[in-house]
A and B are shown apart, each in its own frame.
Chain A
């Protein structure tokens, strides 16, 4: 059931992602056509105005004078050989820009995932063990408050308190560029910069997973197999660790997989607040510069990322739950 067919399962799932991603690209392309203004008008505007002939000339250079379907066709044709075009705004190939920004975003997403899942599961577990005591109430109420607080506000408050008042963490950026740290020092420096963005982005998901884990634990604890385990004479602690915990984890893992897309969206806000040099910040900049080539590239990259993370979650699920049959 596993190992042998797992490889072919992954291969087939990857094949299935191709139409999904192409669909995403087409929809994004057409949506951007609806947006008012283009790179030519922005450039002209920044130059303090320009004659119509000059704007037309710019458009011809960017290929924007062609009919939409020709542009779309060309774009997809280039995409198939991973040519994402050229960003005239940043004067660099889109792919190169994306790859440079991918690392920081993955770092932020990864640390957020670890923190929110790890702490969320732990908090939910503790709340369930202490159910209906004051400790449970503290965790549950805190989770609801965090859950209801807007991301950007949390970010700004964290900066205000921990960077400006207490001066524990830097306000922005990924590393101290002028310090020229190398090796281990650089890792420590980046980790130091990573704390506030990660906390900001994690809190919402942490609260979500904590609530889900608590509910899931309580639900599982009422099921028959737990009574079976009690009837065997098993201790409460072992019942929790051996029986309930793994079963309760399943819905949380599902939710974590679903939320990766949202995580990417949240990282746009967080990267903007903390000037984190990732894809989200790049998206934010390119949107205002009408740099649609770059924006499309970012969308493409995000779609690929979400699809891959979902695939990873599904594969993890196969190992967590023997009832899931693949193939």
Chain B
């Protein structure tokens, strides 16, 4: 067919000898057609990013390299091209958009210069022409004040703005194909919606083909014309988006689709007169940064402005907000890691706020935290058993008994009890998060504060961990404050929701009610930003 832009034929990418499998990509065959968005979906380790990098010859050579197959583009095999020919294609005919807008730009170079660099490499435009084109590109990606923008440094821009700069860079020479590797994963949900919209708009306007790599089926539903599902370096299913999403054939695809958290709100299971476990009254917290020894300018960030919250015993509340909304600060205040400026935090009728560290110690065991990053939150030099047993031991339990309890807890969270003698690095991300949960449960807390506990996990693992948390809540009679940026996750886990924006709770209530009739404009914008919400709702 003539409308095929890029044709991958039996591509194999070899991993270094010391890795756990031979191929990152093991024989993938794919075609990308003109004017279409092809989504590659897969979990971490599926080889989807490696495939994207292989097309542009950006694999981390010499350890990882393409060892077989063909990548045909404009009549030539990209794997056979010389370095110089490949450079002419990179940025010119095929461009790339990366995942991390915070690090994808050179911090010491002005944004305009970085876009201009593409033109400098591939064209003979005069400086004035280049400048004109850069300004035009900045307008195309809807960045404000183009003149000021080109003179800015990356750190002066927000994540979404930086991603627009990267997109402008990719568009500079009207490439035939754009490879977008998880371009919205690091962004807030409303920003993600804007960037997805932009990519789609530009793709339509310029007729570019896009290879869009993602782990999120919601994003796929939002943007894809065709979908290929990858697992362990192989394509398990491919076809038109409607078909793959609507009637998946492969078992793996079915499992992935089933793991996507739905938008079905969780209902209240409890009677209204259960007593209150956590009460936050008029909480205020402001961060001030003064500069220098003699004062100078003071910058204030209101992380929490007059927060009022209530959490009933054996219930769960989701705190939903984007980055910088103050949700993590609130959690840290509740757990006593951060002092409050004013206001009251009570747990079980006892005041937590305004106490010294020593005074707080007896209360510590009532509240425990599950952290976001399962890799950084466990001490790599301690055995799992010691990590879990430390809490009870600090509260006077003997070591033997604490370790015995740790074994039981590990069994409870779905790990083998003999994991007590192993070190954290021997476990996967999902397993580590289970260890983190076991650690939190060890001191028999009344309240668990979970700060984005599943956002670092793959979707299928995410589902398992959420189910585990749910089961444990019931069997231990726990209350949970669940902090997340993801409305979908909030809906599956919690019967109540509080929406935070810029240090304020803008809306609070039962999940079902808020989902049915969101009243605050910000809540509505959050709902509209949920990627693929129509498709997710259709899953029922």
Contact = CB atoms under 8 A, between A and B. Distances in A.
Do A and B pair up? The answer is yes
Interface of A: 12, 15-16, 223-225, 227-235, 242-243, 246-247, 320-323, 327
Given A12-B294, A228-B98, A228-B166, A233 B106 contact: no
Identify whether the interface residues of A are mostly helix, strand, loop, or mixed: helix
A228 B104 contact: yes
Interface stretch (B115-123, B229-237, B255-263, B432-440): B115-123
Given A227-B98, A233-B121, A235-B87, A327 B291 contact: yes
Interface in B112-168: 117-118, 121-122, 153, 155, 166
A220 B466 CA distance: 38
Nearest 4 Cβ contacts at the A-B interface: A233-B91, A232-B91, A233-B90, A224-B103
A309 to B, nearest CB: 19
Interface string B318-333: 0000000000000000
A225 B90 contact: no
A231 B88 CA distance: 10
9 contacts: A225-B105, A225-B107, A228-B105, A228-B169, A231-B56, A232-B90, A232-B121, A233-B89, A235-B87
A16 B292 contact: yes
Contact of A231 (B96, B106, B292): B96
Contacts of A230: 58, 90
Contact of B108 (A228, A233, A246, A327): A246
A225 B58 contact: no
B221 interface: no
B95 interface: yes
Interface of B: 56, 58, 87-92, 95-96, 98, 100, 103-109, 117-118, 121-122, 153, 155, 166, 169, 291-294, 296-297
A232 B175 CA distance: 11
Contacts of B294: 12, 15-16
A320 B109 CA distance: 10
A247 B90 contact: no
Contacts of A320: 108
B117 A232 contact: yes
A323 B153 contact: yes
Contact of B58 (A231, A234, A242, A323): A231
A15 B122 CA distance: 52
A12 B91 CA distance: 47
A225 B155 contact: no
A247 B108 CA distance: 7
A229 to B, nearest CB: 7
Contacts of A323: 107, 153, 155
Nearest to A234: B121
A121 B431 CA distance: 45
Contact of B118 (A223, A224, A233, A246): A233
Contacts of A229: 106, 117
B187 to A, nearest CB: 15
B179 to A, nearest CB: 9
A322 B108 contact: yes
Given A230-B90, A234-B87, 5 more contacts: A12-B296, A224-B98, A227-B104, A228-B104, A242-B109
Given A15-B294, A229-B117, A243 B90 contact: no
B107 A247 contact: yes
Contacts of B109: 242-243
Interface centre among A15, A233, A234, A243 (most CB of B within 10 A): A233
B58 A227 contact: yes
A233 B98 CA distance: 15
Nearest to B114: A228
A224 B104 contact: yes
Given A16-B294, A232-B169, A233-B92, A223 B87 contact: no
Given A231-B91, A323-B107, A224 B117 contact: no
A327 B296 CA distance: 7
Contacts of B292: 12, 16
B291 to A, nearest CB: 7
Nearest to A20: B293
Contacts of A228: 96, 98, 104-106, 166, 169
Given A12-B292, A227-B98, A327-B291, A233 B107 contact: no
Contacts of B105: 225, 228
A233 B122 contact: yes
A223 B102 CA distance: 11
Nearest to A326: B291
B163 to A, nearest CB: 12
B78 to A, nearest CB: 13
Contacts of B169: 228, 232
B95 to A, nearest CB: 7
A207 B297 CA distance: 41
A232 B89 CA distance: 9
A15 B294 CA distance: 10
